A and B are shown apart, each in its own frame.
Chain A
Amino acid sequence: MKAIAYGATALALAIIIPAVSGQPWGAKAASAPAAKGPSVAQRGHMVFERNCAPCHGTGPGIDGSPTLPATAILAQRYEGQMPGALELRTDLTADVLRLFVRQGAGGMPMFRKAEISDADIDAMAVWIAQNAKKNAGRKR
């Protein structure tokens, strides 16, 4: 029940991080620098859950697919050398994320600053790094 679990995660985070209506998550402005501290990681988690996890997450795919579409493609490409799920990767710096978010890849379209700000990308990089450390050894 990926989608419902996703909703539950968002609810938990919403208690910690008030929604900023009309803006990408936590971004005061597109060019605002990322703040320091734990809230950055939490914000990064929320941005990831809302924008990336539906295709790049660790959840099951639809209708019998074992993994989500982008996770499946990356797992196939990396042949076990790296996890297919982005949240398990240890090499995704903010600059690498920014490259793919802004330029897309294959069937993945580009994301605009009105959707995911640069500060959001920085926050995602912080969360992914923390999460990857926690999940070290997972292959999926």
Chain B
Amino acid sequence: MAVLPPNVSAADFDKALTELRAAIGADWVFSSDDDLGPYRDSFSPIWDTEEERRAGAAVAPADVEQVQAIVRIANRYLIPLFPISTGKNFGYGGPSPNVSGSIVVDLKRMNRVLEIDDKRHFALVEPGVSYFDLYRHIQERGLKVWLDVPDPGWGSPLGNALDRGVGYTMGYYRDHIGASCGLEAVLPNGEVMRTGMGALPDSKTWQEYRHGFGPDPAGLFAQGNFGIVTKMGFRLYPQPEHYRTGMITVAKRRDYIALVEHVNYLSDAMIVGEAVYSNPLAALLAKPDFMALATKQGGAPESEMDAAAAAAGLPSWQVELQFYGPEAACAANWAYAKDRILSAIPGAKAVDGEAFPLPATPEQLLNTGQPYKTHIRRNGALGIPSLGIWKIVRDSGHVGFFPVLPRSGEAVYEMQRVMCDALREFPLPPFFSAVTAPLYWPQFAFQMVFAPSVKKEDPDHNAMVDRSMRKAIEVAAKHGWGDYRAAPIYQDAVSASYSFGDHALRRFHEQMKDAIDPNGIIAPGRGGIWPKRFRK
């Protein structure tokens, strides 16, 4: 039985579906339970509960004109729309909407690579283009540009950027919304708007100068609900000639603070790509004594951690560095990094990793040639989409909380301690402990990961996971750490934590929402932004 949106009658919903069928073709309007099943969030911790957010229908337009027609029909009947690109935002809600009964606007069929240029290094794509599609497009044409890809390659560059997804190459490209350059959106009134130089008719530089003239509203469409994005441009990384890796280890726990400062320099000076930190002592977590130490209430004493490292003959921390560019530059940058860090941190050691010309050979892509256990995922590091990462998916999937923290050793230790203690009450693996390493996905910040698995057949487990997620958001916020991205069921909580000035930012968004989308039809609630008629 169809789920109706709030304050919409079954008769009006049926009339809207009839109009939608006429506008885009009956084959692309889905309203049966069977057809809507795949629009549920299969990673949802509220699966099969009253709170689960379920679509009332779905429509799959073929072009911008059909998107405009859908928006106009939705306005007539005050039916909320929820746009998705490839619908693969798993861990963050998948294809499911914020408001049950919404009509999902499934943009998968809008799958054209509109332009790609390997001399000026950009692409312009539609929402339904996946990383796999764009990679294949580049390979088939022998173009000399790279993508920066998130873990699963079935996602959409456009959709990923709009949820501020990240990747694994050089800093600028890792920030996918930051590396976007101009977009086109169907606004809530059905008009089509282009940002940046795209607003200038016959512009030749839409993907080369993102600002255009005047305020640039492109950022409002990321985690926002001000329109349906139908085209987006991206800067592409010119294919580097060479790739080199190396690892630095430090002996003492305290040395990590200096190590982070040096790597920050190397990263901000664009000498290295993603720096991948790991803690060799994580291998000891299987031992109950060490697990107790690493998760000790109030934090593990530094002296005891150093003693554990010494007893195991392991360094306290390590970081893997990656270099891209001309062969000589990669070698010189690695030599510089080694010299800089080893001369400053007593006991630091360096190990040369693999180095090879690009593109990589099939053997090099297997990532089995490093002289040490590597935590770098080779496909991602080389901008090649895959689904190999699905090997980490447990049970029925997971939800994700990724608090942003400063790039300092002190901040890492504080988050380890605070979040470990805060989440101790939940029977979950220790996502936070004295050996939890930060992720260097954003260009200028660290993140840590809390991603408990969900189990469709175990509602009690899922309820516990849901409570742990809400507590993680709350505790992190109290310490000045905000989540960067959230599933619809957590967006209000995360949005509420960004509360400076009595929620001035949220009120600003709400005012804009009411002005631009007075009927509140585009993804109400997305990003914690509710239109007037939905606000309590």
Contact = CB atoms under 8 A, between A and B. Distances in A.
A5 B362 CA distance: 9
A102 B37 contact: yes
A47 B29 CA distance: 22
Interface string B15-37: 00000000001011010001101
Contacts of B366: 60, 63-64
B387 A68 contact: yes
A102 B38 contact: yes
B246 interface: no
Contacts of B95: 112
Contacts of B378: 62-63
Query: B interface, by DSSP: helix, strand, loop or mixed?
Result: loop
Contact of A64 (B39, B40, B367): B367
Interface stretch (A6-14, A37-45, A122-130): A6-14
A7 B389 CA distance: 19
B517 interface: no
A114 B395 contact: no
Interface residues of A, number: 45
Given A104-B42, A107-B393, A109-B43, A68 B34 contact: no
Interface stretch (B135-143, B235-243, B285-293): B135-143
B106 A54 contact: no
Most buried by A among B27, B38, B154: B38
Contacts of B112: 21-22
A72 B39 contact: no
A136 interface: no
A61 B388 contact: yes
B390 interface: yes
A65 interface: yes
B135 A55 contact: no
Of the candidates A21, A106, A107, the one having the most CB atoms from chain B within 10 angstroms of its own CB is: A107
Interface stretch (A23-31, A78-86, A89-97): A23-31
Contact of B388 (A14, A63, A115): A63
B377 A114 contact: no
A88 interface: no
B39 A22 contact: no
Nearest to A50: B132
Contact of B94 (A31, A65, A109): A109
Nearest to A65: B391
B38 A72 contact: no
Interface in B375-399: 377-379, 384-391, 393-397
Interface in B85-137: 86-88, 90, 94-95, 106, 108-112, 132, 135-136
Contacts of A7: 135-136, 139-140
Contact of B135 (A3, A29, A110): A3
A92 to B, nearest CB: 19
A111 B390 contact: no
Contacts of A65: 388, 391
A30 B28 contact: yes
B154 A54 contact: yes
Contact of B391 (A6, A24, A31, A61): A61
B177 interface: no
B377 A54 contact: no
Contacts of B477: none
Given A63-B388, A68-B387, A68-B388, A112 B58 contact: yes
Given A22-B112, A64-B366, A107 B135 contact: no
B361 interface: yes
Contacts of A104: 38, 42
B358 to A, nearest CB: 12
A4 interface: yes
Contact of B139 (A4, A29, A109, A112): A4
A140 interface: no
B153 interface: yes
A128 to B, nearest CB: 18
B87 A62 contact: no
Contact of B390 (A11, A55, A114): A55
Nearest to B394: A107
A4 B368 CA distance: 18
A114 B110 CA distance: 10
B365 interface: yes
A59 B271 CA distance: 34
B136 A62 contact: no
Contacts of A60: 366
Nearest to B367: A63
B268 interface: no
Nearest to A9: B136
Contact of A114 (B28, B94, B393): B28
Interface string B41-57: 01100000000000000
A29 B367 CA distance: 42
A125 to B, nearest CB: 18
Interface in B384-432: 384-391, 393-397
B321 interface: no
Contacts of B449: none
Nearest to B390: A69
- Nearest 8 CB-CB pairings of A with B: A62-B388, A1-B362, A110-B38, A107-B393, A29-B27, A114-B60, A54-B387, A7-B139
11 contacts: A4-B365, A8-B139, A11-B136, A30-B27, A31-B27, A54-B388, A63-B379, A69-B389, A107-B396, A109-B94, A113-B60
